Amino acid sequence: MSSKIYEVLQWASSFFREHGKEATAAEWLLRHHLQMTRAQLFASLREPIDETSKRTFIADVKKHALEHIPIQYLIGYEQFYGRTFIVNEHVLIPRPETEELVAHVLARTTEQPLRLVDVGTGSGAIAITLALERPTWQVYGIDIAVRSLEVAKQNAEKLGAHVHWLEGDLLKPIIEKGITVDIVVSNPPYIPSHEISTLSPVVQKEPLRALVGGEDGLLFYRRLMEQLPHVVTSQALIAFEIGHGQGRAVQAMLQHAFPSARVDVMCDINGKERIVIADLASE
């Protein structure tokens, strides 16, 4: 006897709860497998589920609950700034906090033609979003990992964004090309290495090179401070995402590198320090 959709959904929700996962993820995953909107799913709850969909859904439920594979990797996408981005195990999953970083950059700039670089671009979420929101800008996205850049290029093509992709370590590729930029934006790895074991098993499935920022989490900010003076214009904007409790340290680094700049630390929607922005135009 075939199962009803609601029965499979109830089982998955309970299975996730038993294994310390978000029960609501069951609906998200089931909608993907049935290719249904939320309204369609709820209208079909008492319909039978076909055996193939049921089998593949159950397999993915177990991968998430038992192997800790992120739902986004199982379904292959995540939403960011109102757009759908391809994600896989080679890139960090875009997060709502990073949308706030993008929003701050947009709020402090205009449509005038500018040159921007996104350092450690990963899926390309930041670079592509800014390229689409500011079509007059010339946007560069840099990543050290070739496989990450492959994902970013797929996203740019799918979303119709024009971004110059460069492979290399932090700002080195544009330094070598002699390119200067008006905006530097980055969500670098910022989790202290000793804290990785305390993260949820699901987060630990994301690329560690995109998470770990050295012993104190500040390694990449220090390295960027050495490179920034070689690439920024005199009126530049530098915008970083940061981890918990890192605001003052990153602010001090930027203030030391650019003594006359205005450097602000801002909190995210949850009241946590999340963004540091240096405005060199106030020099």
> Residues forming the annotated binding site for substrate?
187-190
Between the alpha carbon of residue 164 and those of residues 88, 124, 156, 223, 225, the distances in Å are 21, 11, 10, 23, 23
- Please give the torsion angle defined by the CA atoms of residues 206, 208, 213 and 215, in that order, rounded to the nearest 10 degrees: 130
> Looking at the chain, how many residues does it have?
283
Per-residue tokens: 243: 């981890």
Whether 29 and 73 have beta carbons less than 8 Å apart is answered as no
Pick out the residues of the known binding site for S-adenosyl-L-methionine.
120-124, 143, 187
Q: What CA–CA distance (Å, rounded) separates 246 from 60?
A: 36
Pick out the residues of the known binding site.
120-124, 143, 187-190
H/E element holding 142?
Answer: strand 138-143
Q: What CA–CA distance (Å, rounded) separates 277 from 266?
A: 8
Across 2-18, b (16+ Cβ under 10 Å) vs e yields eeebeebbeebbebbee
